[in-house]
Amino acid sequence: MRIFVAGATGAIGRRLTPLLIAAGHTVSGTTRSADRARELKRNGVQPVVVDVFNKHALRDAVARVQPDVVIHQLTDLPQVFDPAHLAEMLQQNSRIRIEGTPNLIDAAQEAKVRRFIAQSIAFAYADGPEPHSEDDPIGPLEGGEPRAITARGVHALEQAVLNAYGMEGIVLRYGRLYGPGTWAASPNGRAPLHVDAAANAALLAVKRGAPGIYNIAEDDGAVTTDKARRELGFDPAFRSRR
Report if residue 168 sits inside a domain. yes
Mean pLDDT of 44-70: 97
Any idea which of 77-81, 105-109, 188-192, 211-215 has the lowest mean pLDDT? 77-81
Domain that holds residue 89: 2-232
Could you tell me the CATH number of the domain that includes residue 125?
A: 3.40.50.720
Residue 82 has pLDDT above 70, yes or no: no
Report if residue 207 sits inside a domain. yes
Q: How many CA atoms lie within 13 A of 116 on its CB side?
A: 29
Categorize the per-residue pLDDT at 2 as very low, low, confident or very high, splitting at 50, 70 and 90.
Answer: very high
Burial class (CB in 10 A: 0-12, 13-18, 19+), 151: buried
Residue 84 has pLDDT above 70, yes or no: no
Report if residue 68 sits inside a domain. yes
Q: What is the pLDDT, as a whole number, of residue 85? A: 65
Q: How many domains does the chain have?
A: 1
Report if residue 239 sits inside a domain. no
Mean pLDDT of 5-27: 97
SS3 223: strand
Mean pLDDT of 167-184: 97
Mean pLDDT of 127-136: 97
Who's near 113: CB < 8 A, 6+ residues apart? Answer: 4, 62, 67, 68, 69, 70, 167
The partner residues of 2 in beta bridges, in order of sequence, read 26
Report if residue 238 sits inside a domain. no
Question: Cis omega (within 30 of 0) on the bond before 140?
Answer: yes
- CA dist., res. 6 & res. 51, Å (int): 10
Q: What is the pLDDT, as a whole number, of residue 105? A: 98
Categorize the per-residue pLDDT at 161 as very low, low, confident or very high, splitting at 50, 70 and 90.
Answer: very high
SS3 195: helix
Report if residue 25 sits inside a domain. yes
Report if residue 22 sits inside a domain. yes
Residue 86 has pLDDT above 80, yes or no: no
